[in-house]
Amino acid sequence: MLGALRLLLILKPLAYGVALVCGLILTLSGFGPGLLGERLQGFLLMAHMGSVPPFLLSVAFLSVTCAKQHDLRERMTLGSLCFWLLLGLTVPLTLTILLSMFPLTGTEGLNALLGLHESIALVFVVAAVLYVLLRVRSKATAQDESQKG
């Protein structure tokens, strides 16, 4: 039991780190080309796709290990709302690309799927920044209180 707890204490910050770094790579590689009037292709597309598996794995791990502390029935906080929104958005964020890989829709449908991926990605990034800021603030407040205490 103690071993599992120790493992969790190591894996959780590691998963947060991986999610943060991959999220940053996905955001810069996703929105960067568009800001320069270009499309996501070549090395940046490889960086984007290469970040997806560790990103989704760390999000899945955090969704299981952090669900309890973000239980909205116990406490409804903005941070917890962001947590569940991020988890919820990860599904359509991935599905839009998976569906675009099948010849189900014509070019118009493909562009619509990519447009949807980009819009969901924008909401995801805003919610992620808010979640990280709130986590940092709550950690700083907890630290202050423990020092005063």
Binding site for ligand HEM (CB under 6 A): 23, 26-27, 30-31, 33-34, 39-40, 45, 48-49, 52, 93-94, 97, 114, 117-118, 121, 124-125
Nearer to ligand HEM, 11 or 110 (CB): 110
Nearer to ligand HEM, 32 or 74 (CB): 32
Q: How far is the CB of 65 from ligand HEM (least distance, A)?
A: 20
CA distances from 125 to 31, 36, 40, 63 (A): 11, 19, 17, 17
Nearer to ligand HEM, 77 or 119 (CB): 119
Residue type, 76: M
Q: How far is the CB of 109 from ligand HEM (least distance, A)?
A: 13
Six-digit token string for 135: 């986590």
The Cα–Cα gap between 49 and 40 comes to 11
Q: Phi and psi of 64, rounded to 5°? A: -80, -45
Nearer to ligand HEM, 61 or 124 (CB): 124
Helix (H, G, I), strand (E, B) or coil at 51: helix
